[in-house]
Amino acid sequence: MLDDFMWRAMLAGVLVAMAAAPLGCFVVWRRMAYFGDATAHAAILGVALALLLNVSIFLGVLTVALVMASCVSLLSGRGYAMDTLLGVMAHSALAVGLVAVSFLAGVRIDLNAYLFGDILAVGKNDLWIIGGGVALVLILIFWRWSSLLTATLSDELAHASGIQPRREQLVLTLALALVVAVALKVVGVLLIAALLIIPAATARPFCRTPEVMAIVAAGVAILSVTAGLRTAYVMDTPTGPTIVTLAAALFTLATITTQGWRLFRQRI
């Protein structure tokens, strides 16, 4: 029988997976993998500012993630290549955050918990915050699904349909910032991007429609969380990295399966 803390961890992980996987599909479609990484790296700076100002860590992380994502959106296409801009901002935010944490006198924090997650320490209040954030993300995705898809396919098609691509990018930015803020407790800063990208990349070869891909990606993410939690519990391994390792194993299995099937069909 699993203990109460394991059930809370399981629920938190499943909730985050439900939001991260479909959002990750847009990250994969738009080739924005490093965008999610940059937003996640800024979370450490949000933690430091929240402790400095004595406010909620969730609020601090959400605010900084929103500012980071908005800055990247506004500065993109203005003289810098996207990968260069993301690289500079991601690593700068992480470095400034780590330095800022070292200046917090009289405050002791476990950086490993923020870098790699501490899902087993999720409490009832954390569950309410995670649940609320996930609900907002799912509402945003459901509300803007058609417009987001159209803007993802082509800016010209979006303009022809009366959709503003910049607005849809800001919606996606808001959703990403929310996921980063609620996922911090579950998998940590360094692993959030993996939970966004790997399930979507795993589902992609098996799906013919965006809706099916989002559902399959959510299933892969939930399986990774539940199996990863159980494996970490049995083998006494770090929980967040174990979850991502299980997701990576599923991606590897999916890649081998699709490549093997392709070779088999070519030989027939």
C-alpha span between 183 and 46 (Å, rounded) = 14
State the pLDDT at residue 249. 93
In a domain, 265, yes or no: no
**Model-level pTM?**
0.84
State the pLDDT at residue 163. 85
Confidence of residue 231 (pLDDT cuts 50, 70, 90): very high
**DSSP labels, 47-95:** HHHHHHHT--HHHHHHHHHHHHHHHHHHHTTSSS-HHHHHHHHHHHHHH
State the pLDDT at residue 112. 72
In a domain, 98, yes or no: yes
In a domain, 255, yes or no: no
In a domain, 74, yes or no: yes
Per residue in 104-116, pLDDT tens? 766 666 667 777 7
State the pLDDT at residue 1. 45
Residue 79: which CATH number? 1.10.3470.10
Domain of residue 69, residue span: 4-192
Q: Which amino acid is at 150?
A: T
